[in-house]
Amino acid sequence: MSSSSSSLSFSSFVVVLLLCICGVYSSSASVTKIGKGYRLISIEEIDGGIVGHLQVKQKNNIYGPDIPLLQLYVKHESEDRLRVHITDAEKPRWEVPYNLLPREQPPKLKQTIARTRKNPIAVSEYSSNELTFSYTADPFSFAVKRKSDGQTLFNTSSDESDPYSSLVFKDQYLEVSTKLPKDASLYGLGENTQPHGIKLFPNDPYTLYTTDISAINLNADLYGSHPVYMDLRNVNGQAYAHGVLLLNSNGMDIFYQGTSLTYKIIGGVFDFYFFSGPSPLAVVDQYTTLIGRPAPMPYWALGFHQCRWGYHNLSVVEDVVENYKKAKIPLDVIWNDDDHMDGHKDFTLNPVNYPRPKLLAFLEKIHSIGMKYIVIIDPGIGVNSSYGVYQRAIADDVFIKYEGEPYLAQVWPGAVNFPDFLNPKTVSWWGDEIRRFHELVPVDGLWIDMNEASNFCSGLCKIPKGKQCPTGTGPGWICCLDCKNITKTRWDDPPYKINASGIQAPIGYKTIATSAYHYNGVLEYDAHSLYGFSQAIATHKALQGLEGKRPFILSRSTYVGSGKYAAHWTGDNKGTWEDLKYSISTMLNFGIFGVPMVGSDICGFYPAPTEELCNRWIEVGAFYPFSRDHANYYSPRQELYQWETVAESARNALGMRYKLLPYLYTLNYEAHISGAPIARPLFFSFPNYTECYGLSTQFLLGSSLMVSPVLEQGKTNVKALFTPGSWYSLFDMTQVISSKEGKYVTLDAPLHVVNVHLYQNTILPMQQGGLISKEARMTPFSLIVTLPAGASEGQAKGNLYLDDDELPEMKLGNGYSTYVDFYATVSQGTVKVWSQVQEGKFALGKGWTIEKITVLGLGGSAQASSLQINGNPINSNSKIEFNVLEQTHLEEVEVGGEKQKSLMVEVNGLAFPVGKNFVMSWKMGING
């Protein structure tokens, strides 16, 4: 269960907002310059890279003493990826563990630097085919350029006039800056709720430190830490993108001032990775090559999910499933928050409200029709000597420690200890507990929440004597342990204060004390933001080991690389129009972060959405990659059938989603093999069109399906941006919008209507939908082919991936998957549509067929003739039917003084096996 209220009281939220409004917590970087930087004193070639040493120029004690000698390591790890690693030259420092995020190791530290160099370097540039690293020796700075166009992507030099320092490297304070061109558009640096949209906004605060404060807090460090950004520039009408990752798990403030970006970090090392792009898709491809490709999702996970904290007993859950069926609203997965648990304890069942025999009977019933069941688990393990999970944990010594004892915190069960997922013994113990629980309840996935880690108390706590904790009455998030502040160490009270929780809260506030320690003495101070990531890895390993099936995990806290193991939802949002808007930006950010399976609580987590808002939210949420309605214990019921108007909007929007499942599943495959986000900003497909660089109210699914939702109260139309070219309404394919330069168009959008458009040059595979993905998956296919409206010459393409989604791997070549490329052309009056199949056996075994092909945008007005299939003419006795309709151009476009015309041609009655190549062609009297 989410715990928006557990971290800061509502009054604190108000204080934060007021302070932000009043500007008390200024986000501009301090103009106090710290020191004179470092000088390069040696540099040599080594193991395919270069190693240098940097000596501090002038020591000072601001935020602690300088580290006198640093080691610089630079390597072109691939043609499009450059690494720059800077650490203490004399002793090891904390880095993101190499077993957690596998990558190349830098060279070992030199014991001495005084010896003669074997391979000294005279030049100050070091290049691959794509990127060039250059440096200045004194004061040391470096720059990264893209060779093909000479653009400087990163430049750490600091002039007297610059409001930031040269390189600073202390034990608990690291600082480095880069210059930026004024017109660069930046994206990323999260997780946070960005009120200004997806584009980073100068002088907004960007703090990275995993924190359980609700997503209603603007510009604050939320549940995930992703210190990566994409930089998009338009030079003379041509777009260029690159990416920058600082692989560091310590807390940090990042100050973006428009023409510069400054990192202020409270530990670790500088470990920069630069990705050359130059397209936005290429950046994400290069980034996920390093951090891990997104996890393959099972097919059912792309269906609709229903959850609520407060399904008090099993009969309520059964009613919810039945009511969705009655309302004819699609539903694939039913969830339990902690209501199924015995006393909020992980891996348990409440014997009264969720008796095991009845729950097993319910699961057998829903599993038989293809529905799935997921429950929550929190990391905190209840301290309870009669609780087997806790007994085994103590026996295996799996908990995070403080002064030799398991660190004591409070979450929903009361007093808890936190498993240390950096400890191999913990990973084994966790896997065993999941196995035991799965034998108790055959769940289909796990929801790992509260893993920032969230704690309802702060400091060093003891279980109170003589009083019950928690009391069992009132809110469960009130701290009832006896606690005292810990300020005695520099880890609990570091010299530099990041803007934690948006209010410069102590970094141990409502989480694990930062002086607590993990396996091998690793400090929580360093590993804090990795907690949810390490838990996701352990959970993934456990689920995959159970039945050899593809795991589904939903995690609240994420870090660089989390997408390889888990999906994400954006945490505790509010049922407000503003939060509906924010959900789009956060979703798009996570696609850039390599976590494409993402969505927000539809209709808001709390308090109560209005009926109109819930209508509009399902029209957006039906197109989130991860689509789930979820609500708070204290909110009124908001399942989609609670209002008849919302039910109608849900049937429309989710009805379309379920027809699009083959497309979404193919996008899931593309994400897994190339990192490509499922939901994307428009600039991913139209990078040269600067008008869409800040667009945060529309989004794409894949490269060409655009969703333009209503996001404002009382509106029955929406002003939507259409890029140059032709766009076809998916709900009414006779409607087309075309333009040469691109433009805003006001679209009708009555309460039950969401506008979804398909771009030209696309072939979209669809099925007939259904109330559950298992059924929808077996219906016949249709293809939608979009050509530039009215063009006499044109082409389109698309693809389709199908597999046995139980298998852990998502790949071709195992006999359990099929991949199809679709192509279409129109040329000299002939329309041709064909397919090329790889590994057809799987699709043929399922008996899938294509029964209809619809071609949009054809010019002319004559009837179709001379139909051929696989080279054979089709006679008039065939069951195949042609249906030709004239399309309506919502915005009239004149070509050569005449209003443009275009046709929609439907070919029905086909029976092409999906697993076999086909070719279909016909002639039309197309205007040349």
435-466 per-residue burial string, b: 16 or more CB within 10 A, e: under 16: eebbeebebbbbbbbbbbbbbbbbbbbeeeee
- SS3 state at 340: helix
CA angle (215, 216, 218) in 5-degree steps: 90
Out of 572, 612, 619, 639, the active site residue is: 572
Of the listed 449, 612, 639, 805, which one is catalytic? Answer: 449
User: Do 335 and 363 form a contact (C-beta atoms < 8 A)?
Assistant: no
Is the Cα dihedral 888, 889, 891, 893 positive or negative? negative
Tokens at residue 198, please?
A: 């997806």
Show the tokens assigned to 421. Answer: 């997922």
Please report, to the nearest 10 degrees, the dihedral formed by the alpha carbons of residues 839, 843, 849, 850 taken in order. -50
Q: Where are the alpha helices (DSSP H) in 572-696?
A: 577-592, 611-621, 644-659, 661-674
CB 764 within 8 A of CB 649: no
Asked if 645 and 611 count as a contact pair (C-beta separation under 8 A), the reply is yes
Burial of 719 (0-12, 13-18, 19+ CB in 10 A): exposed
* Apex 50 CA angle, 44 and 52, nearest 5: 60
Please confirm, yes or no, whether 346 is among the known catalytic residues. no
Q: Which residues have a Cβ under 8 Å from the Cβ of 896 and sit 6 or more positions away?
A: none
Tell me the three-class secondary structure of 484-535, residue by residue: ECCCCCCCCCCCCCCCHHHCCCCCCCCCCCCCCECHHHCEHHHHHHHHHHHH
Determine the Cα–Cα distance for residues 480 and 339; give it in Å rounded to an integer: 21
How are beta strands 567-569 and 598-599 bridged, if at all?
A: parallel
Chain CA centroid to CA 222, Å: 14
Q: For residue 608, which of 650, 645, 579 has the smallest C-alpha distance? A: 579
Annotated catalytic residue 449: yes
Q: Are 158 and 166 in contact (CB under 8 A)?
A: yes
Whether residue 159 lies in the annotated active site: no
d(CA 622, CA 628): 9
Residue 826, φ and ψ in degrees, nearest 5: -130, 130
Place of tokens 């990041």: 498
Q: How far is CA 59 from CA 38, 63, 329, in A?
A: 10, 12, 67
The letter for the amino acid at 761 is N
DSSP 829: T
Of 452, 524, 601, 805, the active-site residue reads 452
Rounded CA gap, 569 and 399, in Å?
A: 27
Other Cβ atoms less than 10 A from the Cβ of 868: the count is 15
Q: Say how far apart CA 586 and CA 580 lie, in whole Å.
A: 11
Tell me the Cα Rg of the chain. 29
The sign of the dihedral angle between the CA atoms of 416, 422, 426, 428 is positive
- The H-assigned helical ranges of 369-423 are 388-396
Strand partners, 252: 208, 265
To the nearest 10 degrees (0 to 180), the angle between helices 424-440 and 388-396 is 160
136 and 6 Cβ atoms separated by less than 8 Å:
no
Q: Are 658 and 770 in contact (CB under 8 A)?
A: yes
Token output for 428: 């084994």
Q: In Å, what is the CA distance from 649 to each residue of 263, 343, 598, 616?
A: 45, 38, 21, 8
Active site residues: 449, 452, 572
